[in-house]
Structure 1
Amino acid sequence: MTEYGRGQGSEPWHPQDPLYGDQGWGQQAEHGQPAYGGQGQYDPQQPQQAYSGDWGTGQQPGYGQDPGHGYGQDPGHGQDPGYGQQSYGGQQGQGWDNTGAHGQVPYGSDPMDPYNTGQNAAYGGEQPDYYNTPGAYPPPEPPGRRRAPEPEQTEWDAGPDQGEHAFFGGGGDEDDDDEGRGGRRGRGGKKPKKRRSGCACLVLTVIFAGGVGGVGYFGYQFYQDRFGAAPDYAGAGNGETVTVVIDKGADGYTIGQRLKAAGVVQSVDAFVAAQSSNPDGKSIQAGAYVLQKEMSASSAVDLLLSPKSRANLTIPEGTRNAAIYKLIDAKLKVPEGTTADVAKKEYKNLGLPDWAEKHANLKDPLEGFLYPSSYAAAKGMKPEAVLKDMVERADDKYEELDLGSRAKSLGLDGPWQLLTVASLAQAEGTSHDDFRKMAEVVYNRLKPGNAQTNGMLEFDSTYNYVKGQSKIDLGLSELRKYDNPYNTYYYKGLPPGPIGNPGEEALKGALDPTDDGWYYFISMDGKTSKFTKTNAEHQKLVDEWNASRNND
């Protein structure tokens, strides 16, 4: 007889079996036959609860009743093999006929659940514990009949077609979903998620593809910027010319930006690389250049180094403003007189220093401030821009030479007079070696009470300036009769202002004159000048010069 208690099988029951809790199932019966299909018995000391429902009739004796009946004894329906003998899934037993046909389903709503009493409880809900084993709920099933766990509901349920139809087929109606999974809803108690519609999925696919494409594009750009070759045109340009102005002191990156903005090069990095690889790349000068659009970076560097591309306006030393205005008009391809008109109207807005303002009887307030140098000047530029660049260059040079503080030491009123002296030396000198001597002549003649000239400068250049000419053969009668503040044959002292634009050497000559006692000078061949200290020596040279020219 099977003992209700601990089995005496060859293997001990496993107290830590997570499926069975504290009671050991799987104990061998006293005679070696497995009770309950090889599973251990309950301890009789535990309180027993009647199990409602007879297997076959609905009246099953409760566990723990008289063992005389034996497991599987059914007084109303004969012998029923015990749990250890009855097979679930095809063997004969009560409720099945000899042909295997199932005559009646005596179980509740679920014929596959032998423990169901007809009262379905929702998963996760509270159910009675028939075996008083809280750790082993739900009750274990007999061997061979343990049901596979219900598949866990997830956020995405592919359905019977593994997702293909549900995802792309457009099915998503609740009626269809209820019909296909009604049983699952009944047992699970959860309403299944709706299927995704085909349109929504298509939109998501497009968005996803666009995102991937965007990430790929920016990734490629990042790679190109960091590791790829800089974009560059090929060839020497497309034939369309453009003028580019390079500022003084501009570095390669700044030049590259200017060229890229004008459409000359494709990228700044390509130009910087080409400039660095060229041995003469760092010698690019400031100025205006005529280039072509869509040039390779190396071609642009070569052209910037070539004098042929220069669109600069070069102002020679001593050039008067009137001549400079005409040069600017020609370079900018504007009507003649345009720049002169701008200078007359806008001279106060072009950057003149304070000491250059408020001088009377000036023929041109900008005279002396269009500093001799090379400037960017090309078609499309404004005259104001060119003039302002020239004035700025003059201001920088005059500040560099410190005209303001040096004027007083030379007996002058200020930098304005010093600039005027430099313009006279520039106009009368025939070489750079003359400028210091020529400046001494001016300072000596300006000395009050000098016995040689009595304060008269008598420079032909001042008369020529006011007349707008450059004549050499001038008669004394003509020179001494013309009443004009600029005519130093008519008025003592310096003219009202500069009579041209002196260069750096003339400025330095005015700042550092010789001290040899020169009062007179004459140019015999137009290339060199001869200086004398007395009027008698000077008159001798004048007679020689007149004889060479057959002058009376």
Structure 2
Amino acid sequence: MKKILIILLIFLLLIAGGALAAFCLVKNMASPVSAEDDGTKVRIEIPSGMSVNGAASLLAENQLIRNEKIFYYAARYPQLKGFLYGKEAGQSAFVLRSGIYYVSPAMNIAEIQELLSSGQQEYIKVSLPEGLTISKIAAELEENRICNAADFIKVCKSPDFAAKNNISGESAEGFLFPDTYFLTAGMEAQTVAQLMVDNFFAKIKEIPALAQMNSADLFQTVTLASIVEREYRVEDEAPLIASVFKNRLRRNIGLYSCATVEYILTEIEGRPHPDRILIEDTKIDNPYNTYKWAGLPPGPISNPGLVALRASADTPKTNYYFFQVVDPAAGRHVFTTNFEEHIESHSLYTKKSGK
């Protein structure tokens, strides 16, 4: 009997030893890859639709976990995390969310899974100044890895996209609000364009005269603002420039805007930005040529900011019909009421694409 008890005790000890060894093995496989946190972090991108197994493989490939199966079972059974890392670790289920994460090799599986459940994103700051065109915005987005330039241009120049957003024109030109955006790599072009258009309509609420306009009047005002945006350099002159254009429109006089000619050269004909508008350029037969045709062009020539939009919506009444650059470096103009005064210092200038 005594011999049987000894054998039974040895058997139980072997079982306990095996269980302890198994526990130690699992505990080791679930431990952080690095014992010390030296600040190293690895960028991990979890795309939409990735499985837990896929995430485990990605983490293992980047040497951030020791064992893919342990990661999977810890994700499926929170109790296992509680057993390995303490009661708190096993209280919540793991939900893998797409995003871009920075994972430390010193993190254990529970900490990694908590991070991957957060949906944290790596945002890319993109600052779009006033006065850019669709094509220039597209180039900025592609350079910052946000979306493909051609895709963005296609969306923004789609009449269907314009109609969807109650824009009276054939494209979203003029309605992509210049601002600082925090975006993510690989976004859908339509998502980015919609974000900018939504921002436009949110921002014009700051200008009651604009917010109350119907879509046709708003389109005309944005078209005017897009020209003002490309003509003014000093903020306090924007309303005066708008007044000149409105006075000329009322009398059916051509706007004579170099900015519209520049738009034809660079955006329609695809030429490099000119240092100077030539007389022969002002004779180009194109509806955007405000030297050749009276009235507003068919649509906006840039995407204006609040200064130009406000100047075009709340325009002061003046007797000015002309303005002329007098200080190209400072961007200052002289405003005159008749052609004789204007012709005395007449010269054609154009602004570089920043403004």
Q: Same fold (TM over 0.5)?
A: yes
Per the normalisation by structure 2, the TM-score is 0.59
1:312–1:374 CA contact under 8 A, matched in 2: yes
**Which sections of structure 2, spanning at least 5 residues, go unmatched?**
1-35, 48-98, 112-121, 267-271, 350-355
Distance 1:243-1:370 versus aligned 2 partners, 3 A rule: farther
Alignment partner, residue 3 of structure 1 = none
1:318 maps to what in 2? 131
Q: Find 1:343's aligned residue among 153, 156, 166.
A: 156
State the AA in 1 paired with 2:237: D
Contact 2:146 2:183 (C-alpha < 8 Å) held by counterparts: no
Contact 2:147 2:187 in 1 (8 A): no
User: Which structure has more helix as a fraction of its residues?
Assistant: 2
Determine which of 360, 363, 380 is the counterpart of 2:186. 380
Q: Is the 8 A contact 1:238 1:293 kept in 2?
A: yes
SS in 1 for 2:126: strand
Per-residue CA shift, 1:127-156, capped at 9, x if unaligned?
A: xxxxxxxxxxxxxxxxxxxxxxxxxxxxxx
- 1:530 is aligned to 334
More relative contact order in 1 or in 2 (CA 8 Å, sep 6+)? Answer: 2
1:417 to 2:220 alignment: yes
Does structure 1 residue 496 correspond to structure 2 residue 304?
A: no
User: Do the aligned residues in 2 keep the contact of 1:439 with 1:510 (CA within 8 Å)?
Assistant: yes
Which deviations, in whole Å up to 9, do the C-alpha atoms of 1:513-540 show, x marking residues without a partner? 2323111112231422221111111111
Q: Would the alpha carbon gap of residues 343 and 376 (structure 1) be closer, same or farther in structure 2, given more than 3 Å must change?
A: same
CA distance in 2, matches of 1:243, 1:237: 19
Alignment of 1:134-533 (within 5 A): 236=39, 238-240=41-43, 292-293=102-103, 311-332=124-145, 336-345=149-158, 348-349=160-161, 352-354=164-166, 356-357=167-168, 359=169, 362=170, 365-404=171-210, 414-448=217-251, 454-468=252-266, 470-480=273-283, 482-523=284-325, 524-526=327-329, 527-533=331-337
The answer for the alignment partner of 2:115 in structure 1 is none
Q: What amino acid is the match of 1:445?
A: R
Aligned letter for 1:510?
A: S
Q: For residue 414 of structure 1, give the secondary structure of its aligned residue in structure 2.
A: helix
Q: Is 1:539 paired with 2:343?
A: yes
Tell me the amino acid that sits aligned with residue 457 of structure 1. Answer: L
| Displacement over 6 Å in runs of 4+ | none
Provide the rounded CA distance (Å) in 2 between the counterparts of 1:349 and 1:513.
Answer: 30
How far did 1:390 drift?
A: 0.6
> Structure 1 residues 243 and 374 mapped into 2: Cα distance closer, same or farther (>3 Å)?
farther
Q: Distance in 1 between matches of 2:317 and 2:147?
A: 48
Q: Distance in 2 between matches of 1:456 and 1:418?
A: 17
Post-superposition shift, 1:315? 0.6
Equivalent-residue separation in structure 2 for 1:315 and 1:477 (angstroms): 32
> Partner amino acid for 1:394?
F
What TM-score comes out, normalization by structure 1 length? 0.40
Partner-residue secondary structure (3-state), 1:522: strand
Quote the offset at 1:242 in angstroms.
5.5
Pairs aligned (count): 246
Greater radius of gyration (CA) = 1
> What's the offset of the Cα at 1:236?
4.8
- Name the residue aligned to 2:6: none
Offset at 1:465?
A: 0.8
CA–CA separation in structure 2 for the residues paired with 1:333 and 1:374 = 14
Please list every run of 5 or more consecutive structure 1 residues that lacks an aligned counterpart in the other structure.
Answer: 1-232, 245-288, 298-308, 449-453, 547-552
Answer whether contact 1:429 1:435 (CA < 8 A) is retained: yes
